[in-house]
Amino acid sequence: MHQKAVSARALAFACLLGLSFAGGAAAQSYPARPINLVVPFPAGGTTDVLARALGQELAKSLGQPVVVENKPGAGSTLGADYVAKAAPDGYTLLMGAVHHTIATSVYKSLHYDFQKDFAPVTTVALVPNVLVVNPKLDAKDVQGLLTMARASPGKLTYGSNGMGTGQHLIGAQFEKEGHVKLLHVPYKGSGPLTTDLLGGQIDMSFDTVTPVLAHIQSGKLRALAVTTNKRSAALPDVPTMEEAGLKPFDMGTWFGVLAPAAVPKDVVQRLNAEMVKIIRSPDFSRRMAEIGAVPIGDSPAEMQARIGADTANYAKLVKDANVAIN
């Protein structure tokens, strides 16, 4: 009996050792083919710009192509759903954003759980949002815009990346704090939104700095305020919402990479190590500064904590703003 017990323990140990070796071998051989990085918005927006900048460097680092795949729709949730259901092998990743933590409370029939069905890899960057208007609109500052909005309730329009996205919720918060009523116009992403804003089809947006920075600098759009509690280094002359006369207002947008939940931990660790090295490099930091982004590069655990905190915080804001989609 004793000999059989020893043999059983030896066999169990050998199995565990074999599994450990197999996992390590898998990580060492990863990636063996191209990686798909899914962007849940059309090309041209901040999520897309960050994904392509990171993917370009990651391809060099890993020695395999990183293919950016745009899957827009339903306020960023279609692309997320696609990745949640993908094979958990590290070859399909999501460029997620704060929008996904908001969508958890906005959409009542999501087919995934953002906190349970994904393995966070790292937060790539934080990007301030900015209230911009078409120059044809006779509003030189936030107070002037509020005066116009109060004179014509529900007439002034603002665009967003879709129902339940950060831009939508910032607009709702602006309405609440400014005691005004605006007309929300959802788009599939920043590209088409910015085109219509430049053309005067909509009056304003609360988009991230990245897709509108060049248009602000050229005078094609007018920036009235940033939505964070500090001014943006890319727009140092643009006041914060609080400086513009509203209550304390701190709503920006983070972007980060996630994998399906069951991806092996060693693959997540490999991806995190490579991405953090890229994100914290001087060259990448310079590129981020040019588009108004602040590079982060945190651990999977830190990103998970960020997601949990934002999911709870935005749930209250969503409830207060009465934003819900079945």
Task: State residue 7's pLDDT score.
Answer: 52
Q: Give phi and psi for 124, each to the nearest 5.
A: -80, -50
First to last CA, the chain: 62
Q: Give phi and psi for 17, each to the nearest 5.
A: -65, -40
CATH fold group of domain 128-244: D-Maltodextrin-Binding Protein; domain 2 (3.40.190)
User: pLDDT digits over 212-267, tens only?
Assistant: 999 999 999 999 999 999 999 999 999 999 999 998 788 889 999 999 999 999 99
CATH 3.40.190.150 correct for 35-125+252-321? yes
What would the DSSP string read from start to end of 6-37? HHHHHHHHHHHHHHHHHHHHHHHH--SS-EEE
Residue 11 predicted with pLDDT over 60: no
Pairing of strands 222-226, 130-133: antiparallel
- Taking CA atoms, 101 is separated from 47, 193, 271, 279, 307, in Å, by 15, 22, 22, 23, 6
Question: 91 and 259 in contact (C-beta within 8 Å)?
Answer: no
**Helical H segments across 85-163, by residue range:** 98-106, 142-151
**Helical H segments across 30-97, by residue range:** 46-62, 77-84
How many angstroms separate the CA atoms of 203 and 164, rounded? 20
CATH 3.40.190.150 domain range(s) in the chain: 35-125+252-321
In 3-state terms, what secondary structure has residue 143?
helix
Question: 317 and 169 in contact (C-beta within 8 Å)?
Answer: yes
Residue ranges with strand state E in 107-243: 118-127, 130-133, 157-160, 183-186, 204-205, 222-226
Task: State residue 322's pLDDT score.
Answer: 78
User: pLDDT digits over 138-176, tens only?
Assistant: 999 999 999 999 999 999 999 998 888 889 999 999 999
User: How high is the mean pLDDT of the chain?
Assistant: 91
CATH 3.40.190.10 domain range(s) in the chain: 128-244
Percent of the chain with pLDDT over 90: 78
How many angstroms separate the CA atoms of 243 and 240, rounded? 5
